[in-house]
Each structure stands twice: as C-alpha cells, then as structure tokens.
Amino acid sequence: MTATVTLVDYGAGNLLSVARAFRHLGAEVILADTPAAVAGAARLVLPGVGAFAACMTGLEDKGLTDAVRRFAA
C-alpha cells in the first residue's frame, strides 16, 4: 500500500525538494493550497527551511491557518 502525504503549498519553503524526497521513498504526494485539501489529508507536512514568518504569511494569505490548526488538533 502506498502512503499518501499532503504537503501544504503556502507559496514558500522547500516544497519541491520535500515532494521529491517523499516520492523517492515511494509515497504519493498531494500538494494542498486550499483549506478543503488540508482538511482531507491523512498525513500533513508543512515544508520549510526555518523562515517561519514567511510561512505564517503564506498560510494566512491563502486562508490555510485555521485548516492547519484543525488538522493538528
């Protein structure tokens, strides 16, 4: 069975590198840039390289902040 991993696309971060790594490990990768896509995830990854302020800005701009919080709860 192939694992499915959803990566949050908030407009910054190392999204493509993380996607490539998961695919290399045999996972199916879904890119999520809407609250509905985040809500439908079984496994959620927020890629980044330590630029947390840019991450939060991207999440807020795309309306993803609450969806990520609900997923983590």
Q: What is the dihedral of CA 60, 46, 11, 25, to 10 degrees?
A: -160
Taking only the tens place, the pLDDT of each residue in 16-62 is 999 999 999 999 999 999 999 999 999 999 987 777 888 889 999 99
pLDDT at 12: 79
pLDDT at 51: 77
Q: What is the pTM of this model?
A: 0.84
Structural domain for 67, as ranges: 4-72
Question: For the chain, what is the domain count?
Answer: 1
Distance CA 70, CA 65 (A): 9
pLDDT at 2: 86
